[in-house]
Amino acid sequence: MNFNVIKKNRKYFAATTDNNKSCKILIDDYSKDLALGEHFLAVKDISVRSKYGTDLIYKLAANVEEQTKLGICSLKSEYNTLLIEKCRKLGGTWDKSQGAWIFSSIVEKEVEELDEIFNSAPVIVEIEAIEEIQEQGKAIEFLGYPVCKAFSRDSGARIETGIALLSGYATSGGSKNRWTTVLSEGATLRLKIPEDLLNIYEDKKFQVKTI
């Protein structure tokens, strides 16, 4: 993950991420010799998240000298919010020009494990909503993959490419400023999903049947 280290304080370095968000890097035996300036670092996310907001805090996954000797590794896969979360926890940086996540090779083993899961052979499944599903201001997902999405209170909802709605309906709702994507109870969709992902994770909003 790319950082611009600005200042060394008593307990943390003050820094910004590659998308210009303010953050802190814990000062410990791994990071104590970290120089000010720009760095690509493998980190662990130890942020404090509460209803009041997020205090972005990172901890180096290995010492500075070891990280500078290592190269990089990468991961390409379809858009998936579960994968995004895991890539960020491993200190990954999204390279838009390459359409890939870039990591320090210090986490190559973990990246390979993600590759095996999220790029495993696809299987066709039918998923049925156990009850009506509503998501405010975003798409409804199955195991991190968007299946349908509204864009405003009155827009209706679009079924994502490569997904078939076999029964029930998807629509929009809520208010003008707090719109929701809605999928009816019993709505059934057919889609492809990586087999290993299906075997490892569970989405309790849906009943799942492999075709």
> What residues does each domain of the chain span?
2-117, 122-210
Cβ-contact 94, 65 below 8 angstroms: no
Over residues 163-189, the mean pLDDT reads 97
Task: Name the percent of the chain lying above pLDDT 90.
Answer: 77
| Cβ-based neighbours of 102, under 8 Å, separated by 6 or more | 72, 73, 74, 92, 93, 94, 95
- The size of the chain, in residues, is 211
How many C-beta atoms surround the C-beta of residue 42 within 10 A? 23
CA distance 77 to 80: 8
Could you tell me the pTM of the whole model? 0.74
What is the overall mean pLDDT for the chain? 93
Angle among Cα 96, 75, 17 to the nearest 5 degrees reads: 50
Evaluated on CA atoms 136, 207, 197, 161, the torsion sign reads negative
pLDDT-derived band at 120 (thresholds 50, 70, 90) equals very high
Q: How far is CA 150 from CA 81, 171, 177, in A?
A: 17, 7, 13
